[in-house]
């Protein structure tokens, strides 16, 4: 059977942009506003000669910040349970936030192979973020620009190892 890969990370790091690039259609809604309602989506991904199922996560509609974290965690855990491997995405431009670290702990507990993706890595603004990302303990980050399609061959190599 085809492997399933979940795209995990806090809002606004570029998960849906990556999903769209892998699936090749605008199935996932990309939005500048964190917290916009977005359902989890599944698609058939194609990267070189690799074929796999990919899950995009988000789906935040709760205005109450007290329950937001719990909802994100629940959705993340559900996606990871279905997945053979995880692409954990951070924003290399903003560097690590407490929320990134929170998601990283959820991912770590689920015991799946993790590919660490440092997105928005086009240009030099991303360099400090790449260094920070290494501290998560998921190995070397793969610098990627989901928007511009840069770094996809390194992502391919990592996926080939993981799935
Ligand atoms: P999600 O909330 O993690 O699904 O993030 P989105 O895919 O909705 O993207 C959030 C914002 O980041 C949007 O404005 C995207 O256009 C932007 N974005 C996504 N990928 C990149 C990238 O590679 N470089 C830059 N500079 N911006 C990006
Ligand atoms: Mg999204």
Residues in the ligand 1 pocket, defined by CB under 6 Å: 9, 11-17, 30-32, 58, 119-120, 122, 145-148
Distance of alpha carbon 58 from alpha carbon 117, whole angstroms? 17
Quote the pLDDT of residue 29.
56
The residue to which tokens 């511009």 are assigned = 148
Q: Is 13 assigned a ligand-binding role in the annotation?
A: yes
Ligand 1 pocket mutation, candidates 60, 103, 147, criterion most atoms within 8 A of CB: 147
Task: Go through 54-89 and write b for each residue having 16 or more CB atoms within 10 A of its CB, e for each that does not.
Answer: bbbbbbbeeeeeeeeeeebeebbeebbeebbbbbbb
Radius of gyration for the alpha carbons in the chain, expressed in angstroms and rounded: 14
* pLDDT tens figures, 26-58: 555 555 555 444 456 889 999 999 999 999 986
Residue 71: pLDDT over 90: no
Quote the pLDDT of residue 37.
41
ipTM reported for the complex, 2 dp: 0.99
Q: Which residues contact 12 (CB under 8 A, 6 or more apart)?
A: 32, 34, 91
DSSP secondary structure, 114-152, as one string: EEEEEES-SSGGGHHHHHHHGGGSS-S-EE-BTTTTBTH
Q: Is 67 assigned a ligand-binding role in the annotation?
A: no
Mean pLDDT, to the nearest integer, of 99-105? 90
pLDDT band, residue 107 (cuts 50/70/90): very high
CATH code: domain of residue 15: 3.40.50.300
Structural domain total, the chain: 1
Cα(92) to centroid of ligand 2, in Å? 17
Q: Is 12 assigned a ligand-binding role in the annotation?
A: yes
Mean per-residue pLDDT of the chain = 86
β-pairing, 50-56 vs 4-8, is parallel
Residue % of the chain over a pLDDT of 90: 60
Distance of alpha carbon 50 from alpha carbon 132, whole angstroms? 30
- What is the torsional sign of CA 162, 130, 126, 14? positive
**Domain range holding 143?**
4-162
Measured in residues, the chain has a length of 163
Ligand 1 pocket mutation, candidates 10, 15, 30, criterion most atoms within 8 A of CB: 30
Residue 118: pLDDT over 60: yes
pLDDT band, residue 63 (cuts 50/70/90): very low
- What is the torsional sign of CA 66, 42, 101, 114? positive
Quote the pLDDT of residue 150.
97
Cα(129) to centroid of ligand 2, in Å? 20
């Amino acid at each position: 059977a085809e492997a399933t890969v979940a795209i995990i990370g806090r809002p606004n790091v570029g998960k849906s942009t990556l999903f769209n690039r892998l699936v090749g259609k605008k199935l996932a809604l990309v939005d500048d506003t964190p917290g916009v309602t977005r359902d989890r989506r599944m698609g058939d991904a194609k990267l070189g000669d690799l074929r796999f199922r990919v899950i995009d996560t988000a789906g935040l509609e709760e205005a109450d910040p007290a329950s937001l974290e719990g909802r994100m965690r629940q959705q993340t855990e559900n996606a990871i349970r279905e997945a053979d491997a995880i692409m954990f995405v951070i924003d290399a431009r903003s560097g690590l936030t407490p929320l990134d670290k929170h998601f990283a702990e959820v991912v770590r507990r689920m015991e799946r192979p993790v590919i660490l993706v440092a997105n928005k890595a086009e240009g030099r603004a991303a360099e400090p973020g790449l260094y920070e990302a290494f501290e998560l303990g998921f190995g070397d980050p793969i610098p990627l620009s989901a928007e511009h399609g840069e770094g996809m061959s390194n992502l391919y190599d990592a996926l080939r190892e993981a799935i």
